[in-house]
Amino acid sequence: MSSRLPRDWVPPVAVRQYGLFTRAQAIAAGATASQVRHRRDTGRWRLVAGDALTADGDPREPWRRAQAAALTWPDAVVCLSTAALVHHLPVPDDGRTHVVVPVNRRERADLVPHRVPLATTDVVRVGLALITSRDRTLVDCVGRLGRVDAERLVTWAGTRGLLDAATLGAALRDRPGAWGNEQRRQSARDLSGRRLQPR
């Protein structure tokens, strides 16, 4: 490849990765380390999360961040609020990309690793990424969000038939020591008692 790259050049692999690519992929395709650094420094290429870069679109959009997690850690499963936003659930975005990983890892460029058990039925594929299913994501977020946000999510999901007391009860039985179970118990009582007002 020529020492001068076209202004809009990105590694060809980006076409099949939804416009995302890594520094290593750019260098493998012919860019030099200094060219990558210059494009990063000038904002032509922007960090999405982990190792993933993009030359267009909103790098902080949750769906893109999920794809970035897959490029960085292919064995990771996007979870919690990041997965909720991909599923279009009404939760706040903390700007970080939450993932379940099979081994201990350090946080890396907005990728936040978590170690929790997942069943194969808890995981779905969205684009390049593995993410927790909508049902598993709802149960996780009900326990892990702040109280007000969790109550809002329970009301929203409960009034749309997406979450019920039986689902939360099953999660409590399956994971008796899980973080957030007290909040899930209260949410199950609210759903069982139908103390919900549509939002």
* CA-based nearest residue to 86, from 110, 106, 105, 62: 62
> What is the rounded distance in angstroms from the CA atom of residue 183 to the CA atom of residue 165?
12
SS3 47: strand
pLDDT computed for residue 2 by the predictor: 46
Please say if the pLDDT value at position 119 is more than 60. Answer: yes
Which tokens go with 169?
């009860």
CB neighbours (10 Å) of residue 55?
18
Tens of pLDDT along 136-174?
999 999 999 999 999 999 999 999 999 999 999 999 999
pLDDT computed for residue 193 by the predictor: 75
Instruction: Report CA torsion sign: 144, 146, 152, 154.
Output: positive
Tell me 141's DSSP state. H
Half-sphere exposure of 86 (CA within 13 A, CB side): 30
Contacts of 23 (CB under 8 A, 6+ apart): 33, 36, 51, 53
Least confident of 11-15, 34-38, 189-193: 189-193
pLDDT computed for residue 89 by the predictor: 98
Which strand (E) or helix (H) includes residue 123?
strand 123-126
Q: What type of residue is 43?
A: G
**65-92 mean pLDDT:** 98
Q: How confident is the model at residue 194 (pLDDT cuts 50, 70, 90)?
A: low
Cross-strand bridge partners of residue 188 = none
Contacts of 81 (CB under 8 A, 6+ apart): 91, 92, 93, 94, 98, 141, 145
User: pTM of the full predicted structure?
Assistant: 0.91
Tell me 166's DSSP state. H
Contacts of 150 (CB under 8 A, 6+ apart): 141, 142, 143, 144, 183, 187
Which tokens go with 31?
């860019």
